[in-house]
Amino acid sequence: MGSTSAHNNEGLGRRDLIKRSAALGLIAVPTMSFLSACASGSGDSDDNKVAKGEKSDKNPLAVNGSAPLEIVIFDGGFGTKYAEDARDVYKKTYPEAQIKFSATQKIQSVLQPRFNGGTPPDLIDNSGAQQMDMGVLVGKKQLTDLTPLLDAPSVDDPSKTVRDTLRPGIVEMGQFDGDPVWMLYYAYTVYGVWYSQTALDKLDATYPETWDEMLALCEKAKKQGIAGWTYPGKHPYYIPFSLYPFIGKIGGVEVLNAIDNLEPKAWEHPAVKAAFEAYYELYAKGYILKGTPGLDHRGSQGAWARGKALFIPNGSWVENEEAAIIPKDFKLSVGAPSGLDSSDKLPFGTIWASGGEPFIVPAKAKNPAGGMEQLRIMLSEASSKSFTTNTKSLSAFNGGTAGIELSDGLKSGVAALEKAGTNVVNPRLQDWYVKLQKEQIGVAGLGEMMAGRATPAETIKKIQGFADAAAKDQSIKHFRHQ
């Protein structure tokens, strides 16, 4: 298939990077903690399942070609075109199948009642502000183990399994408690500080590598009537996209691991204190765009794309989400977090990159084989190219970029990964503890601090309280780094 070599030639093959990162403990491989019974599979009867089809080389998952299939996609920054393209391939392969395809931004409110009622769809892109809590879904045995999909032959090269074609680290992200793989992260996201190189050029500035340089640049911008930063004030869980790797850069990966593991006093580490105080300076010195606390993600991204602020913490989906607004001469770029000072544990370039857009097949899906087959199609070279072309982002498939002209943001993301080398961090709170990350650390914690309504010390105390409560809550399934 030739995709791996093409991929490496373009600097996108992070095989060695992620292997080394995993060896160094930079990439999370979740392990079992308690509730070991949860590793025993879905525990559901097959009464509601459609009959299986006949297994063959072309149908390794034994899909029933006449069975209905229902797919629900999160309609966010990546849009739905890539998923529609993959659905059309399924329809061509199984023309008798009736396919129900829908998109929503309200995943939880639309789908949680269907999970609870035992009538979920067959394949779901569980993403966005209303993402269902993965820990709860796993803990309640509501997901299908995707191991059969990973062990199936890949679409392009039957001598390779689907597992063999994935970017290293993707499989591990789907494991919450040992061997089962409960979710497949389809996108590969670079998180960081996004900016316009053209805007920096106009200020005769380079991207700041230290916090003093960041503050000096924000002051320079302020004098020109430009804010230093904005962020989605209504969704402040975006702030960690640059704040978490900043904490890791200052104090080392072990600080992020302690936070993920809900360890007592993890948030009281000096690296957390230093990072919070640095970000609070952005508010205290007037470098945050006025009105930011009231903006949602599109509002803040729109203001930033129109040049009202230099920097925004975000993921690589922002290029596609704001494609209609970002000017042609913007030169979209992503920077790793500016460091604090020379005492930082990790070098400049340390960045957060990991799988995004988690796809799941519910345990009570009527057609789980069809849901997995749709994912197998999505993990082909053609589908990956469709995703990258339509979204300006990399997919979990380790290739799919040959012959595609890479956009500015995508090129910058690839360069950022090369700059990072082995210093790629992957905080897991947003996967493991959705409510803690989004509502408590995000809205109640960082949102209040960045709006100037709480000091860093008050915020740390409050967040540590939330983390301690989550650690004690036996209704929540807990996970730990190895």
State the average pLDDT over residues 321-349.
97
Give the C-alpha separation, 339 to 417, whole Å: 17
State the average pLDDT over residues 22-26.
37
pLDDT, tens digit (0-9, with 9 covering 90-100), for 433-478: 989 999 999 999 999 999 999 999 999 999 999 999 999 999 888 8
* Position 167 confidence tier, pLDDT thresholds 50, 70, 90: confident
Classify residue 122 by burial, with Cβ atoms within 10 Å: 0-12, 13-18, 19+: buried
* Position 350 confidence tier, pLDDT thresholds 50, 70, 90: very high
Ranking 47-51, 204-208, 251-255, 304-308 by mean pLDDT, the lowest is 47-51
* Position 482 confidence tier, pLDDT thresholds 50, 70, 90: low
HSE (side-chain half, CA atoms, 13 Å) at 236? 19
Which CATH topology does 21-26+60-189+353-408 take?
A: D-Maltodextrin-Binding Protein; domain 2 (3.40.190)
Report percent pLDDT > 70 for the chain.
90
Give the C-alpha separation, 10 to 398, whole Å: 12
Average pLDDT, the chain: 89
* Position 177 confidence tier, pLDDT thresholds 50, 70, 90: low
By residue count, the chain amounts to 482
State the average pLDDT over residues 3-9.
30
Among 24-28, 128-132, 239-243, the range of highest mean pLDDT: 239-243
Mapping DSSP to helix (H, G, I), strand (E, B) and coil, where does residue 113 land? Answer: helix
Ranking 200-209, 289-298, 349-358 by mean pLDDT, the lowest is 349-358
Give the C-alpha separation, 204 to 401, whole Å: 34
**Residue 374's closest CA among 202, 159, 177, 155?**
155
**Residue 302's closest CA among 323, 316, 317?**
323
The model's pTM is 0.75
Q: Which residue has 């960041």 as its token pair?
A: 214
Q: How far is CA 137 from CA 40, 116, 132, 144, 242, in A?
A: 14, 11, 8, 10, 28
Q: Both tokens of residue 305? A: 């794309």
More confident site: 5 or 231: 231
Q: Boundaries of CATH 3.40.190.10 in the chain?
A: 21-26+60-189+353-408, 190-352+428-472
State the average pLDDT over residues 111-135.
94
CATH 3.40.190.10 at 190-352+428-472, yes or no: yes
* Position 4 confidence tier, pLDDT thresholds 50, 70, 90: very low
Q: Both tokens of residue 423? A: 């210093």
